[in-house]
Each structure stands twice: as structure tokens, then as C-alpha cells.
Structure 1
Amino acid sequence: MKTLDFIKLDEKSVAPVVESLKQLLADFQVYYTNLRGFHWNIKGHGFFILHEKFESMYNDAAEKVDEIAERILQLGGAPDNRFSEYLKIAKVKEVDSIACSDEAMSNIMQTISLLIEEERAVLDKASEAGDEVTVAMMSDFLVEQEKLVWMLVAFQSGKCHK
């Protein structure tokens, strides 16, 4: 008995979706770990705001990791659970001991941009496979992340314009 039989999706059609989700999972896992490091190591101006925001962001990333892994399982795949495997395929690179808010924010913005690109690719593949649930999940991720980008850009600008 397979889940795909009951949700009426074809294994061959969803195989590219599963592979794209595995890539996204690896990148989210590295992103999550980087966010934890930013949370622990941030110093200087903006510490209180950023320390709290980074915690919120890594909690959100942890939820997304779980959603992605569960969707891989629902589509008949098997999510990797070893960090060594994530690092082999992740496009997001590990960072070490970033304490400067500008560096952390730059890394986060670049990472979110990469995740958005990957999510759009997953969305396209899921749409081709008739996988509306994955399409909806990616759409939800994109709504949140595009708003987050807007807020982070506004935070980084730090200047009021008339």
C-alpha cells in the first residue's frame, strides 16, 4: 500500500518534485544552523532586536524543514536526516562565528533569495505533476519570505525618506 495510490499522484511524475524538495530540505537545514549561529553570536548595535528576530527565524525554518521532510515522505520519497548528506548537496554554505549584524543580514538575504529561487522551481515541477499540495506549500513559503525580504530591506535601510 502506497500513499501515492490514495492521493492519486503518479510516482514517476512526482519524482522530480521529490528531488527538488530534497535539495530544498538540505538548504533549509544549513540555513537553520546558520541562523542559530547568528542568534548565539550577534553583538553590537541592534543586538536585542536581532537576537530575538534570529530566534523567530530559526523556529520558522525548523517548521519548514519538518513540512518539507513530511511532504517528501507523502510523495513516496525518503528525506535525508544526516547533516553530512545535506552538506554534499546544499547550495547554502555553512558560516562560522558571524557576530556583525551587517554580515549576518547579508548572508540571510542571499540565502532567502536562493530559497525563493528553489521554491519557485519546486512549485513549477509540482504544478507539472498535478501536485497541488506541494504547489500550495511553496506558495505559502513564498508569501512569507517575500514579506520577510521586504521587512529586512526596510530594516537595513535605516533611513526615513520623505
Structure 2
Amino acid sequence: MSNSIGLDAQKSQQLVESLNTLLSSYQIQYMNARSFHWNIKGREFFELHVKFEEIYNQLLLKVDELAERILTIEGTPLHAFSDYLAISEINEAKGVQNGPEAVAILLDGFTLLIKAQRSILAQASDAEDEGTASLMSDYITEQEKLVWMLKAYLG
């Protein structure tokens, strides 16, 4: 049985579950980056304040794209933080004000996002869902470079 865009309905529902987990992880990564932007202190304040804003703005765009992709493949995106906290693969970071610690936390989060996106890319390819596969491929490419830059920052 196919959905209205011609994808296998059962495989699409499995993708919805994976995408909702990814969406949850993105929401937590977004809030971590936002918190670091607000609360960072020290000598790196000016450069990290700007970088964290750039990062959280990019994350917010992806949150919206993921939710819309879930809707496109006829699923329902999660929309409560309690749900995000329950299934996110990324943990909340509270009270972080140290620049290198904040960067390391974001680095770990992006590493988890890339791993999850690779898994969804394979799942989407199996489901012949080019739209989701393309989205994951674009995110992976962008975030691999960001991981390299964050690692370089940390030395």
C-alpha cells in the first residue's frame, strides 16, 4: 500500500519514527546551542557568542524542515518538549558557561546527529524515499565540515 506521494506506507511510518527521534535530538541540540549563546563567559565570549547564534539558527531551520518532511510522508511530528527529552539521543546541557566545554558538547551532539542521519539515509534509500535521503545527505555534508571546525577549535 502506498501513501499519497507514492511511497510504501509501512516504510514511511518507520521513517517517521526515526525522523521524530532525529527531530527530538535536533530540538535538544538547538536548546543547548541557544543556552551557550546566552550564557557563555570568558575570553572567547565575542567569537563564540556569534558562532553559537549561527549554529542555533541553522539548527532551527533544520527542525522546521524535519517536521515538514515528517508531514510530507504522512506522519505527525512530535511537538512537546517532554517527548523530545524522552527520546532525544542528545542530552540537555545545563549551566555551561565555559567556551571549550560548550564547544565539546556541541561537537558530541553533531557527531550523534551525523550517525543518526546516516542510519536514516540508509533507511530512506531502502524505502525509495529520495526526498528524505537527499535531506539527510545535505545535513551530513554540512555537519561533517562543522565537526571538523569544532574539533580544530578545540585543538
Same fold? TM cut 0.5 = yes
Give every structure 1 segment of 4 or more consecutive aligned residues whose post-TM-superposition deviation is greater than 6 Å: none
**Per-residue deviation, residues 105-161 of structure 1 (Å, max 9, x unmatched):** 11011101100010011101000000011000000000100011111122221xxxx
1:134 to 124, 128, 132: 132
Look up the equivalent residue of 1:96 and give its one-letter code. K
CA contact (8 A) 2:40 2:48 kept: yes
Q: Does 1:59 align with 2:60?
A: no
**Per-residue deviation, residues 12-54 of structure 1 (Å, max 9, x unmatched):** 1212211110000000001100111000010112111100000
Look up the equivalent residue of 1:8 and give its one-letter code. G
Task: Give the structure 2 partner of residue 111 of structure 1.
Answer: 109
1:23 to 18, 21, 28: 21
Look up the equivalent residue of 1:127 and give its one-letter code. S
SS of residue in 2 equivalent to 1:4: coil
Look up the equivalent residue of 2:20 and give its one-letter code. K
Structure whose alpha-carbon radius of gyration is higher:
1
CA contact (8 A) 2:32 2:93 kept: yes
Distance 1:104 1:98 in 2: 6
- State TM-score, norm by structure 2: 0.96
CA contact (8 A) 2:104 2:154 kept: no
SS of residue in 1 equivalent to 2:3: helix
Look up the equivalent residue of 2:119 and give its one-letter code. A
Q: Which stretches in structure 2 are left out of the alignment for 5+ residues?
A: none
Task: Give the structure 2 partner of residue 81 of structure 1.
Answer: 79
How big is the alpha-carbon RMSD for the aligned residues of Structure 1 and Structure 2? 1.1
1:125 to 101, 123, 128: 123
CA contact (8 A) 1:28 1:61 kept: yes
SS of residue in 1 equivalent to 2:90: coil
Task: Give the structure 2 partner of residue 160 of structure 1.
Answer: none
Distance 1:77 1:154 in 2: 39
CA contact (8 A) 1:4 1:74 kept: no
Look up the equivalent residue of 1:84 and give its one-letter code. S
- State TM-score, norm by structure 1: 0.92
Aligned length: 154
CA contact (8 A) 1:17 1:125 kept: yes
SS of residue in 2 equivalent to 1:57: helix
CA shift for structure 1 position 4? 3.0
Q: Which stretches in structure 1 are left out of the alignment for 5+ residues?
A: 158-162
